[in-house]
Chains A and B, each alone.
Chain A
Amino acid sequence: MSTPTLDAIDLSERTFWGAPPEQRHAVFDLLRRESPFAFFAEPQVPYIPVGPGYHAVTRYADVEAISSQPALFASGSGAVSIADMPPDLNEFYGSLISMDDPRHGKIRRIVAKAFTPRVLENLVGNVQAVADDVVARARRTAEAGDGTIDVVADLAAPIPLRVICDMMGIPEADRAMVLQQSTVILSGGDPELVEDEEYMVTAFLKAGELLAGLMERLAAERLERPADDLTTALVTTEVDGERLSHQEIASFFILLLVAGNETTRNAISQGVLALSEHPAERDRWAADPGLTRTAVEEVVRWTSPITWMRRTATRDVELSGQHFPAGSKFLLFYAAANRDPAVFADPHRFDLSRDPNPHVGFGSRGPHFCLGAHLARREIGVAFRAFADHLPDLEVCGEPARLQSSFVNGLKRLPARLTGVR
């Protein structure tokens, strides 16, 4: 691998994000050392005006400083896209993520109820049953075929899909559509998922429409017959005596489905890949279930399923002695902060017993900390225990197909073999 040079780095270049992670981390290391607020021109999105450019924030301390001052560094003009999207599109796809206080705080507290550790405790049986079933099906798939499976389609995708759909009360018949459309929304325009880049925004809109259509149907059903699910909570809940608006419910519904699927799926698939590249760590975890608490955190740090979120300066600001004018855009590169040697000893070492591990894989300090962190931790822990117990013969047997997206550290496919089958 050639050593990167500052001049040659362009984080807006799509191919950079499909390259192997070692190259990506070599670039992050260089930026963090030499240019911790490096400035880049924005990638072009068809039909969206190109904005002023953005600063790539790669030091842990700066990510934390920005994240923990939401009044100075706002999310409202867009946290999940580099370009400022048209306001309706931004609100539709960003929901809480692209919202500031006071509205954000009010809505967040209401939905937080559905994600408390104790509520999730009741889901453990559910997550366990889902993982056991998925693992059994994967083995049958391997047995019925040539002994191989796709880690993404057969293991990593179905676990979070079934858990979030169960929580939200999505009927069985709609789940394949949910997975397909949420994959499109977070494709980052990967050419395999969005065939014509020219129509990228159209593809996102179409996906959103299909999911919103499902929401309309379910919402009407739940208003008539409330059920014990999140969709019922969304349509019946009140903020300051008011119900959420139709659009707020739709965008929240999409957020929960998309975030519930895309992040955990990639944590699991990338985690399987990391364990196959570090067999001593894999064996250690398999032999010691007590390692699960720290191992889950290390999987999240290592994989950083969401690579960045954006913030925008609300006025002239100072960071680590540098001045930035109001309107400056910052991409908080969690993946880079999670390998910052100022915080993590030997940061490029995959160490399942790393403790403490104050990673920012769920976001850094501040009001936008991942709502689903407990759920994700639970799913990842249960999934990897199920793999260790029931798929000890799982062996990655080919190259992963990486998603060409700067935003999601995704795998599209990861071929593996169950060596016990044949």
Chain B
Amino acid sequence: MTRVVVDREVCMSAGVCEMEAPAVFELDADGVLQVGEPTDLAAVEGAVRACPTGALQLVD
């Protein structure tokens, strides 16, 4: 099943993914990225592309 992998070393909590796919990504109160099920695949692909640090990856 397709899922999203976050490189925690690289993520800088820019929140661009949350703008692209708010149903899947959320920066919590500490600024740590929480990732849910990649329900809307098109939006998640957009988030992976838009991530400014390339911290997101879609894997099968």
> A residues near B, CB below 8 A?
68, 105, 108-110, 112-113, 115-118, 363-367, 369, 371, 373-374
A112→B18 CA distance, assembly (Å): 13
Taking a contact as CB atoms under 8 Å apart, the answer to whether B31 and A105 are in contact is: no
- Which one, A112, A363, A365, A366, contacts B13 given CB within 8 A? A112
Please give the distance in Å from A385's CB to the nearest CB on chain B: 18
B12 touches A105 (CB 8 A): yes
Chain A's closest residue to B46 (CB) is A356
Are B16 and A115 in touch, CB under 8 angstroms? no
Rounded to whole Å, the gap between the CB of B17 and the closest CB of chain A is 9
CA–CA, A367 to B7, complex, Å? 14
Could you give, for residues 17-34 of chain B, a 1 whenever the CB lies within 8 Å of some chain A CB and a 0 otherwise?
Answer: 011001000110111000
Which residues from chain A contact B54 at a C-beta distance below 8 Å?
68, 365
- Secondary structure of the B contact surface, majority rule: loop
Check: B53 CB closer than 8 A to any chain A CB: yes
| B residues near A366, Cβ cutoff 8 Å | 52-53
**Residue pair B13, A113 in contact (C-beta under 8 Å):** yes
Residue of A nearest to B26 (CB): A118
13 A-B pairs whose Cβ atoms sit less than 8 Å apart in the complex: A109-B13, A109-B31, A112-B27, A113-B27, A116-B13, A116-B18, A117-B18, A118-B18, A365-B52, A365-B54, A369-B16, A373-B14, A374-B15
Asked if A369 and B18 sit within 8 Å, CB to CB, the answer is no
Report the bound CA distance from A371 to B52 in whole Å: 11
For the complex formed, measure the closest distance between the CB of A118 and the CB atoms of chain B, giving whole angstroms: 7
CA distance A28 to B23 in the complex (A): 40
**Are B53 and A365 closer than 8 Å at their CB atoms?**
yes
Q: Is the interface of A mostly helix, strand, loop or mixed?
A: helix
Q: How far is the CA of A109 from the CA of B30 in the complex (A)?
A: 9
Out of B12, B13, B16, name the residue touching A373 (CB < 8 Å). Answer: B16
**Chain A residues whose CB sits within 8 angstroms of the CB of B15 once the complex forms:** 112, 115-117, 374
User: Which residue among A68, A112, A365, A367 has the maximum number of chain B CB atoms within 10 Å of its CB?
Assistant: A112
Contact A117 B19 (CB under 8 A): yes
B57 to chain A, nearest CB (A): 15
A371 to B31, CA, bound (A): 13
What's the minimum C-beta distance from A215 to chain B, rounded to whole angstroms?
A: 23
Measured between C-beta atoms, what is the minimum distance from B34 to chain A in Å?
A: 11
Bound Cα distance from A105 to B30, whole angstroms: 15
- Hey, which chain A residues are within 8 Å of B31, CB to CB? 109-110, 112-113, 116
Contacts of B22 in A (CB 8 A): 117
CB distance from A198 to the nearest CB of B (A): 40
Which residues from A are CB-within-8-Å of B52?
Answer: 363-367, 369
- Minimal beta-carbon separation of A61 from chain B (angstroms): 16
The answer to whether B12 and A118 touch across the interface, beta carbons within 8 angstroms, is no
- The answer to whether residues A109 and B12 also contact, given A117-B18, A374-B19 and a CB cut-off of 8 A, is yes
Q: Which residues of A contact B19 (CB under 8 A)?
A: 117, 374
Cβ contact of B12, chosen from A117, A364, A367, cutoff 8 A = A367
The interface residues of chain B lying within 8 Å CB-to-CB of A116 are: 13, 15, 18, 27, 31
CB distance from B59 to the nearest CB of A (A): 20
B28-49: CB near A (< 8 Å → 1, else 0) gives 0111000000000000000000
